[in-house]
Structures are given as structure tokens and as C-alpha cells.
Chain A
Amino acid sequence: MSEDAKVWARLAGLTPARIGLGRAGSGLPTREVLRFGLAHAQARDAVHAPMDADAIARAIAALGFATLRVASRAADRATYLRRPDLGRALAEEGRQALEQAAGDPIDLAIVVADGLSARAVHEGAAGFLAAFKPHADRAGWRLAPVVVATQARVALSDAVGSALKARAVAVLIGERPGLSSPDSLGIYLTFAPRPGRSDAERNCISNVRPAGLSHPLAAFKLDWLLTQAFARGLTGVSLKDESDAALAAAQEANMIDV
């Protein structure tokens, strides 16, 4: 390897961006064309692969959660992508199931939604819930059954949360896949959920994936945000995520190992 090539190899280690690729005339080397093609294929598959809702529900049930299944009014993927409004609305069958399941008001409803990456849900939802469960148990929050939702947008959680009479709703949802991150899970928290809530009224924990934010860390953040939301009666832009400071303090006191 020439000295210059060594420099570029070192530079490439400084950023996940695709630098130091080399060139064949004005084009990319064949290796890089194929590498890009594979990454795009994986991101496309993440968008279009259907969620295996049965398997997700089984994995969540094995953690000791009750589960429920709902769907949005977007009947298929093509409709889902064109009509965000339908992805935010509950299909009738699911709405009835939720109404039957609803009892006394509860603290937290959890929704697991395919969003734009079923892969993120397959690979991350149960793992996150396993990490979050001890937090919920410790806090003594009353939980509704975990709702597994297909062809769902973030705002579907408003309808779920209000049907289940939840003080807050957290939705774990597959994020829009990037070329280098087809497996990223986002968590959106909304206090006093009801249809019509705006995104400015939610808090988001994003990039939950093996190469991003770990499950224990994401669970700690959700615990912190929920505690604040219940104490202050709100979520959204007025609730700044200052969990990093709390985490540093907790680590100092050896209370959490992440």
C-alpha cells in the first residue's frame, strides 16, 4: 500500500461516510458500486418486508407481557407509503379489541409498530422490552397489554393510548432506514395521548440499534422521560432530554451498568 493509500485508509476510519473510495476514471470502482447496491437492497428490504406480528407477540409474551394485535387503516405497504393519514388511524377490528381490553385507567400503554422497518422491530423490540421491564416494575407503573400494530405510523399510538385510557403511550417503531442503518428503532413518548397530538408534543429516543444506542441505555432514557412526564404532566419540546446527566450520576453511584 502506498503512503497516500495508507493516509486515506486512516482518514476513512474517522467517519462512517464513504470516503477514500478511489475511482475508475470518473466512475466508482466495481467493489464500491456493488457495496452501495447491497446496502440499498438491505434498506429496501427493511422497508418492504412484512412484520411477523405473531412472532413478535410470542417473543413479547415470553417476557411476561400480555399482548394485543391491531392494524392501521392502510391495507398494504403501497397504501401505507402514500397515505400517512391512514397509517395514523386504527382499523375498526383493532379499535373494538382495544375497547374491550380497556379497563381502569393505566399509567403506560406500549405499542410495537412496524413503521418503515420491520427488521428493526424483529431484531430490537423484544430486547428493548426485556431491558425496560425492570424499570417499569421498579417504578410500579400499571401497564396495558403491549399492542403490536401493523402498517402503523407514530401517531397511531395516540388512538391506542386513548382507547386504553393510558396516561402516557410509548411506541417502539421501525425508523426510516438509512443506507448504513436498516435496523434502527425509534421510541416516541406522548403524555395524555389522544388523536390530533402533534409531533412537537412527543419526545423521541432514536437510533436504538446495536451500532447505535444500546437497549439498556434506551430503557434508562425512557424511564427518565416517563418519570419527568408524569411529574410535569407533559411531553414534547418543553421537556428537554437531560437523561445524560442523570445517567452519569447513576453510573457514578454504580446504580446502572450500561
Chain B
Amino acid sequence: MAYRHVVGPRSWAFADLAELMAKATPVRSGDRLAGLAAESAEEGSAARWCLADVPLREILAKPLIAYEDDDVTRLILDGHDAAAFAEIAHLTVGDFREFLLVATSETLARIAPGITPEMAAAVSKISRNQDLILIARKCRVVTRFRNTIGLPGTMAVRLQPNHPTDDPAGITAAILDGLSYGCGDAVIGINPASDSVAALGKLLHLLDAIIQRHAIPTQGCVLTHVTTTLEAMNRGLPVDLVFQSIAGTQGANAGFGVTLAILKEAHEAMLALKRGTVGDNGMYFETGQGSALSANAHHGIDQQTLEARAYAVARPFRPLLVNTVVGFIGPEYLYDGKEIIRAGLEDHFCGKLMGVPLGVDVCYTNHAEADQNDMDVLLTLLGAAGCTYVMGVPGADDVMLNYQSTSFHDSLYVREVLGLKRAPEFEAWLHALGMTDDHGTLLPAEPGSPLLADASGLAA
């Protein structure tokens, strides 16, 4: 059945739900590249009018990718919580937006397992940026491994100490720098330059030693392919979090060299290690709009809807952390600051609505029409939206991955402006070391602090 909307003399028609969803999406370069975007502003607006009238039940009944063709669709439908959905089953997409604006945090937590990614994506498409912020702020997703992440009024930071050749001294120096700015409660996470298990082992031991030596209530991660991490776990290496990049279709996941079965195996291996002290949320996933198109596995579906489906892949594994790497993929998918900011808010909103602990790598590449001012805007908006965590990269310049993200200083900025705290266990650790005052504000570094003592040894 085609979808129709009449505007004055003109009747706009959309052949199916996939086309309607794509054309209702605020325009971005990736959907244009795929030939899916609305061709005029009025067509986009007509699609949003039309989408607002679609019942949530109909979205559930019409999978965008057939059940037989795609294991992500099967995961979404087989795991759907009909009881949780019952509370919103009578709503259209337009009604759903208003329901969410009124809903309490308790209601949002109750309905989350009943929300499919397609429902979350649909309602995001007809929402303003302020709706995406206000609703996400009410969603509570709390996860635990060695500390507690996602409590109201907090925002965590991943300390990202990358080095172009994985030099242990260089990485350690960047970790000490980040800790001295009070960063690292989400995870100390290294993107390695090398893929070998031997290199991975060195970095895992390095992280484990720093965390143990300073008794830091946080977790480490080396962001390598899940099969490499599995091998590391089999060899008895100290793996805290298991990382993998994921996407919203079976084909795109195949492009990453990963299947749901491999993720399940890695999840079980992580649980068996029992390295968490206050919880067992030990998975860490990264996503980003455009990955399915880039892998030629997008099935004619817009990139924002596919991104929400990636959160459905993450959800059953009860991850500690999931983040969209929103501006990393380049201007052919998100062209400029405006598109990156919108996508960051959408991704965070959809993840939170589905009950996934979403953080955002607020970032851009040098060929995008964006700069650090755009990142300041997105960071501030995400702070207001209750974003679970952001990145802490030295000086915002990742010298290994060649892109710009948010810095240690940026986290101090957003804490000061919005009053956001760190994970409570990490906050208490900093305070006990004398690095922060009673409000969590960073104090000037004391000579002879234990962290710097570590640094002296390193740099001698």
C-alpha cells in the first residue's frame, strides 16, 4: 500500500514504509548518495506529515528488511517485548512523540523493551532537536562494571590515549595526562595501530597494571576485532571490556567480520572472567550512520534508521557502553556541522529510548565542513540531553586515527557549565587522591601527587 499526503494541489506518494522513512529524514549527504533522500523540501515535509499518521503497530508488522533475509530483523522481532509494547500499541508516530514528551522516567524505562529501532527512528524523524534532547534526558540507562555509569546528573568520559605506533611509554603518558584532568571513568580505551594478538597483549597488561597500581575504579579496553579479543581471553590475557564495531544489517555486520553468534560467544567468555566488581555489563560497541551504505548492505533504507537497528544488535548483550562515532565516516555521509549535530542528537535519542547506554564520539574529519565550534555546540547539547559519555582525546587531536574529537579540557568545560559529575566511584577516587574539591572541581596539581610520581619514573 502506498502512503499519500496532499499539500494544496499536489499529492505526494511514497511507495512503501522504507521510502516514507527515508524521505521523512532530515536531509543528509549519505541518503542523497544512496538516492533515498527527499528531492525537495516540501516532499520531505509531506513525508513527515504522512509518517506522523502511521500506527506503531503497522511499523511492527512491516519489517523494512524481511525476516527471512536478515538476522538483525529476526533479533528485533524475536526479542520484542509485547507486554511492554502494549502500553503504546494504540499510538501513531505523531501521538508517540507527544506521549514521550509527557512520559516520566519510569514510564520510559517500562516501555523501552517494546520499542523497536524502526519506531525510535520514525519518531525521531518528526522531532525537533529540542524534543530529542528533552526526551532523552528523561531516559535512565544505568550500567556497571567497576563503577556506575549513567546516573542522573553524571556524564562519563572515555580516556582515549592512542599513539600512531602503540608505543607503551607514549600511551602511558597520555593516560596519566587524561587522569590528571579527571577523565577515564567510562573506560580507558586504546585504538591499537596493530592488529596482532601479541601487540594486544602488551597493551592489555599496560592498562591492567595502571588500573591496579592506582586502584582506579574503572575498566580498560583495547578496541580490536572481537575475534582477536576472544583469542586474548583464551590465552588468559587481562580483558575487561570486549569491543566490537556493529551495524544495523546482517550484511553490514558481515562487512565488519562479525556475526551475532560470535558476539554471543565473546559475551559469554567475558562473563566467565568475572572481572567486574560492581556489575557485569562488559560489552562495548561502536556504531555510526553510513556504515551499512559504505558496506553496500543498506537494503534501500536510510542511514539513520539503520543506525537505530545497530542499537538493537547491542541491546541483548547488556553493554556497559555504546557510542556512535558520529562525524568520523566523512562528509559523503554527514556533510557539515549541522548534519553532524542533528545525527548526534538522533543517535543518542534512539539509543536511550531503546534502553541502550548511548555515548557519542563528538567528532569530525578535516574534509567535513565542520570545526571545533560545531563540536562545542554538539557537546553542550548532549550534556543537556544526559549523554552517557563522550571521548577525552588529548587536545581533541587523535594522532593515530587522524580526526578531531572532544578533549580532556572539553569535559571540564561541560562539567562546569552544566554541573555534570563523574561516575560516583571514580569521583570518590579522585577526591581521595586530593585531585578534586568537595564538588568534584579539579584542583591545581599538587607537587608529588601519586600520578606524577608514576610519570617521573616513566620520563626519567
Contact = CB atoms under 8 A, between A and B. Distances in A.
Contact of B173 (A3, A11, A23, A85): A11
A40 B173 contact: no
A179 B460 CA distance: 29
Given A4-B447, A19-B173, A177 B397 contact: no
Interface in B63-102: none
A28 B407 CA distance: 10
B332 interface: yes
Interface residues of B, number: 49
Interface size class of A (residues with CB under 8 A): 35 or more
Interface stretch (B305-313, B365-373, B382-390): B365-373
Contact of B399 (A15, A20, A23): A15
A14 B344 CA distance: 34
A4 B402 contact: no
A116 B367 contact: yes
B33 A47 contact: no
Contact of B33 (A12, A20, A84, A181): A84
**Nearest 10 interchain pairs by C-beta:** A18-B395, A178-B402, A15-B170, A10-B459, A26-B412, A19-B177, A43-B366, A11-B173, A17-B394, A179-B397
Contacts of B164: 16
Contacts of A7: 452, 455-456, 459
A58 interface: no
A97 interface: no
Interface string B404-426: 10010100110110000000000
Which of B164, B371, B460 has most chain A Cβ within 10 Å? B164
B218 interface: no
B416 A17 contact: no
Contacts of B399: 15-17, 178-180
Contact of B366 (A8, A16, A21, A177): A177
A17 B170 contact: yes
Interface of B: 29, 32-33, 161-164, 167, 169-174, 176-177, 181, 330-332, 335, 365-367, 371-372, 393-397, 399, 402-404, 407, 409, 412-413, 415-416, 445, 447, 452, 455-456, 458-460
B440 to A, nearest CB: 12
A17 B452 contact: no
Contacts of B404: 40, 179
A150 B170 CA distance: 38
A17 B366 contact: no
A84 to B, nearest CB: 5
B409 A81 contact: no
Nearest to A37: B372
Which of A13, A82, A182 has most chain B Cβ within 10 Å? A82
Interface in A81-103: 81-85
A174 to B, nearest CB: 11
A10 to B, nearest CB: 4
B455 A23 contact: no
Given A14-B169, A47-B367, A81-B367, 7 more contacts: A3-B447, A18-B395, A23-B412, A39-B397, A176-B402, A177-B402, A178-B366
A64 interface: no
A15 B397 contact: no
Contacts of B170: 14-17
A36 B402 contact: no
A17 B413 contact: no
A81 B395 contact: no
B458 A36 contact: no
A12 B407 CA distance: 16
A181 B177 contact: no
B335 A82 contact: yes
A251 to B, nearest CB: 20
Nearest to A85: B33
Contacts of A8: 177, 455
A11 B367 contact: no
Contacts of B396: 18, 36
Given A11-B173, A15-B170, A17-B170, A179 B366 contact: yes
A129 B332 CA distance: 31
A140 interface: no
Nearest to B396: A36
B394 A84 contact: no
B273 to A, nearest CB: 30
B371 A12 contact: no
Contacts of B332: 81-84
A11 B458 CA distance: 8
B173 A12 contact: yes
A17 B395 contact: yes
Given A7-B452, A14-B458, A178-B402, A2 B447 contact: yes
B331 A32 contact: no
Contacts of A135: none
Contact of A14 (B173, B397, B407): B173
B65 to A, nearest CB: 23
Contacts of B447: 2-4
B335 A15 contact: no
B176 A11 contact: yes
23 contacts: A4-B445, A8-B455, A10-B460, A11-B458, A11-B459, A15-B167, A15-B169, A15-B174, A17-B161, A17-B399, A18-B395, A18-B396, A21-B394, A23-B181, A26-B409, A28-B395, A28-B409, A82-B29, A116-B366, A177-B367, A177-B402, A181-B402, A182-B366
Contact of A44 (B162, B366, B393): B366
A74 B169 CA distance: 44
A17 B402 CA distance: 11
B227 to A, nearest CB: 15
Contact of A26 (B29, B169, B415): B415
A40 B176 CA distance: 26
Given A14-B458, A28-B409, A32-B395, A47 B173 contact: no
A247 to B, nearest CB: 17
Contacts of A23: 181, 409, 412
Given A4-B445, A17-B399, A36-B395, A176 B367 contact: yes
Nearest to A44: B366
